[in-house]
Amino acid sequence: MTENDQNTDGYIFSDLAYSEVGSIGLSALEVGVFYSSIEVDGKLSIQGESTLGRFYPKYFKVYQGKDADWAYPNSQTFTYMAQPFGVSKLFVEALNADKGKVVNYSFFDRDLWALFNIVDLSSHKDRFEALKTYSGTWKNANGSALVESRSVGEYTGSAADGLMMTKGSNTNYPDGPFNLNELGQNTQLSIAGASSADPVLVLDNESTLKPQPDIRFGRVNLSDAGEKQGTDTVIHIPLRVEYWNGERFTLNLDDSQTDVAGLKSPKPEYEDKTIWSDKKNQSGEYEAVDVALSAGGKVIAGRSRSIEATEAESNRQQSRVWLDLDPGGNDLPWLKYNWDKTENGEENPSSVVTFGIHRGNDRVIYRGEPGLTAQ
């Protein structure tokens, strides 16, 4: 650059690098003999100041110094497929273009802090729903950095975030479990696209959240049950909450939160269906005696015997009864299952209850008692 160019265009600097975020304050001072005799604003000399740019982080990554804390519903330590969940907190670190740490990101205006999503990058990614965009803070309550000499942000949510893994179909029904015992590494951090102020990136190889969310395919399984003739007209129905372990359904010992109630006034499609009855009308046809499901409560280590089937009046009969897991019933639709293996989809669990298994000491067993006579 010639002297004349310098006079008209300024100075060109090369080989400058800035590894921190924020802005640079520049000042110029002319101290030559001529200018030193000129007084400007009470000062001898000519000077100027300006702020150069706003340098933002190039990359973000999951901060490995603190684990993510998943927000499972009902104080569970897992979630079922099709059951919404969230993340109560996760930690993110800002990096410069050399992937080194930066310190000043917490001093950015709050509106400029990056926003994040959670994504699943596995073969079942199309089934992973993530409705929430996470915002966070990069400061403690006293205004200091969350982690000394690093730019680390804490991003928060709750069990109501709307994260969810839907159930599969056809060849992948049932499937899972996903990430049980940390076997998966698919749930990752992602920049929230246009929602973030700066065109920044997440380091793909350092964006995996730890620990991974524990997601299981679950169902409620009711056993058939019965009582002898002449005993109480209340039958306790064994109930199991199970999950698919990759080979078979197994009792979910981790579930002591699911609350299942028998409904005294279920919707018509879930009322009892009489299979046979000793009570007959004048035409010799079975005459149904209503059977209602009642009681219930939380399972303990996946088991319960608190659901009660009750006859409206004493009668030897066999009926099929259904739990209502749909919204408006127990509101546990994620624990339904395609019991009849048809294209009609998932169904509520049912039990065959028999009032009066036999007639007493003569041990006469009646036919058509599934689950009670090895049929």
Does the pLDDT at position 364 exceed 90?
Answer: no
What is the count of structural domains for the chain? Answer: 3
pLDDT value at residue 362: 46
Angle, vertex CA 203, rays to CA 199 and CA 204, nearest 5: 115
- On whether both 185 and 223 belong to a single domain, the answer is no
Identify whether 225 is part of a domain: yes
For 133-272, strand residue ranges (E) read 136-137, 152-156, 164-165, 187-191, 201-202, 215-216, 218-222, 225-227, 234-244, 249-251, 259-261
Q: What is the distance between the alpha carbons of residues 313 and 9, in angstroms, rounded to a whole number?
A: 102
For residues 62 and 284, the model is more confident at: 62
Residues in the chain: 375
Lowest mean pLDDT across 42-56, 191-205, 210-224, 230-244: 42-56
In this structure, are residues 188 and 206 in contact, taking their beta carbons and an 8 Å threshold? Answer: no
- On whether both 82 and 174 belong to a single domain, the answer is yes
Lowest mean pLDDT across 195-199, 266-270, 361-365: 361-365
Q: What are phi and psi of 171, to 5 degrees?
A: -75, -20
Measured between alpha carbons, how far is residue 361 from residues 199, 234, 315, 355 in Å? 82, 21, 18, 16
Percentage of residues in the chain having pLDDT higher than 70 = 85
Q: If 0-12 CB within 10 Å is exposed, 13-18 middle and 19+ buried, where does residue 99 land?
A: exposed
Average pLDDT of the residues of the chain: 86
Model confidence pLDDT, tens digit, residues 128-149: 999 899 999 999 989 899 999 9
pLDDT value at residue 46: 64
Does the pLDDT at position 360 exceed 70?
Answer: no
- On whether both 307 and 204 belong to a single domain, the answer is no
Range of the domain at 23: 3-55
In this structure, are residues 94 and 57 in contact, taking their beta carbons and an 8 Å threshold? Answer: yes
pLDDT value at residue 286: 75
CATH number, domain of 326, equals 2.60.40
pLDDT value at residue 23: 79
- On whether both 108 and 243 belong to a single domain, the answer is no
Please, which pLDDT band fits residue 45 given cuts at 50, 70 and 90?
low
- On whether both 10 and 84 belong to a single domain, the answer is no
- On whether both 51 and 92 belong to a single domain, the answer is no
In this structure, are residues 241 and 252 in contact, taking their beta carbons and an 8 Å threshold? Answer: yes
Q: Which of 91-95, 340-344, 351-355 has the highest mean pLDDT?
A: 91-95
pLDDT value at residue 170: 81
Q: Structure pTM?
A: 0.84
Question: 195 in helix, strand or coil?
Answer: helix
